Amino acid sequence: MMVRPLAARKFWFSPKACFGAGSLINVVFMFSHVVVFWTKPDLADATEQLLAGAEKYLKPCPGVLHYHCGKMASSHRDVVDQSYQVALNLVFEDKAAQDAYQDHPLHVEFVEKVFKPNCERVVVYDFED
């Protein structure tokens, strides 16, 4: 979980807080954007192109607090989906920051130059607290 600099933190005052009357409690909000990619099977280097493109175009996007992109990890557990090739996990401060990311020129360029040529399917999971 990302902790914001003090100036950017949102505080909540509660006279009945666990830490005693009048305590300030740090409330950190997060918006997670998880993207699962299935690459085109006829493109031998599609996975590597996708990973490199995400690093180049998505990692530096404004508003991204946490970036994690990688290949599917194999597992012996039946419950783990092993049909995809690449997954991306981005964390933003809130939905508004993620919405701005969707329209950012770097994200748009990633979709056009990397995603569309290399992927046949994508599933997105967005969630917040």
pLDDT, tens digit, 9 for 90 and up, residues 29-81: 799 999 999 999 999 999 999 999 999 999 999 999 999 999 999 999 999 99
Q: In whole angstroms, give the CA distance from residue 66 to residue 101.
A: 13
Per-chain mean pLDDT for the chain: 87
Q: How is the chain split into domains, by residue range?
A: 29-128
| Best CA proximity match to 107, nearest among 57, 67, 73 | 57
Position 29 scores a pLDDT of 79
Does the pTM surpass 0.85? The reply is: no
Average the pLDDT over each of 20-34, 68-82, 106-120 and give the range with the smallest value: 20-34
Answer yes or no: are the C-beta atoms of 11 and 26 closer than 8 Å.
Answer: yes
The architecture CATH gives domain 29-128? 2-Layer Sandwich (3.30)
Pairing of strands 23-27, 86-92: unpaired
Answer yes or no: are the C-beta atoms of 69 and 84 closer than 8 Å.
Answer: no
* Run of H or E including 21: none
